[in-house]
Amino acid sequence: MSESVSLARAYAASGYGTVVATPHAGGGRPTPDAIIALLQELQHELKNKKIPLEVLPGAEQHIEPQTLNLLQNKELLTLNHTRYFLLELPFSQPLPPYTEELIFNLTASGYIPVIPHPERASALLQDPQLIFRLHQAGALFQVTWGALAGLLGRAARSLALTMFRANLAHFFATDAHHAETGLLAFGKAVAVLEKEADKGSGQENNLPLAHLYLEHRPRQLLTNRQLDLPPAAEPRANAEQSISTFSRIRRRTGR
């Protein structure tokens, strides 16, 4: 509880009014009832301490074959009980062979999977065209603010920019796990996006980028509305991503 209160206080101090709690989930654990019960305890504690932050329910579901069944059986929390939910891909392993089919079946069943931190998934770093294919199957993507700010390394920053330029960075989030994560990274990150927008790349939207990603689009999601998204393009690896991938191959082979 003390760690959660510290993080909530950091969010409020950074200007956030609403956040979504998304604990890691898999195989139906933790249960939605367990998450909601603890969330109610947290919200009560925040009220007592006069921390002005609303915390909404959610989960970050690790991809598994039974994901659709978990959703249909109400054993997995979506984001604020909407059709949107976080679907986490493996960091270091190849994508499961059923990934595209699962995403297609999820969207056909009325759910919209949002893939968090794609800039950290090695399979997507090595082949950005996979991002476009998963989007065609029905997935959306949530990039981490810290990636654009350079906190996750050059390859992650490069892929985040590539996705923004291709209109495939649909959401940005802190992915904060503790109060020291650096919640104000979005200030530097938004500046990077604005510089890109000045070049004519990125979102086709008249809203200021900070408002679009911190207010407008999150509100659309959390109220279960249809998103007004610009058409996506097929991204391609740039030189920096290619070098990063080549370096990893060299380290693995010892050459």
Q: Model confidence over 59-114: pLDDT tens digits?
A: 999 999 999 999 999 999 999 999 999 999 999 999 999 999 999 999 999 999 99
User: Hey, which residues does 113 pair with through a beta bridge?
Assistant: 85
Residue 165 lies in a domain: yes
Residue 138 lies in a domain: yes
Backbone Cα Rg of the chain: 18
Say how far apart CA 43 and CA 150 lie, in whole Å: 32
Residue 12 lies in a domain: no
Q: The domain containing residue 170 runs over which residues?
A: 62-253
pLDDT grade, residue 246 (50/70/90)? very low
Burial readout 206-244 (b: 16 or more C-beta within 10 A, e: otherwise): eeebbebbbeebbebbbeeeeeebeebeebebeeebeeb
Residue 206 lies in a domain: yes
Residue 82 lies in a domain: yes
Say how far apart CA 72 and CA 61 lie, in whole Å: 14
Q: Are 58 and 85 in contact (CB under 8 A)?
A: yes
User: Hey, which residues does 140 pair with through a beta bridge?
Assistant: 114
Residue 11 lies in a domain: no
Q: Work out how many domains the chain is built from and give that number.
A: 1
pTM across the whole model: 0.88
Say how far apart CA 167 and CA 3 lie, in whole Å: 35
Give the angle 129-22-102 at the CA atoms, nearest 5°: 40
Integer CA distances (angstroms), 204 to 89, 165, 210, 240, in order: 28, 10, 14, 26
Residue 51 lies in a domain: no
pLDDT grade, residue 204 (50/70/90)? low
Q: Where residue 215 sits, what CATH number does that domain have? A: 3.20.20.140
pLDDT value at residue 184: 64
Residue 239 lies in a domain: yes
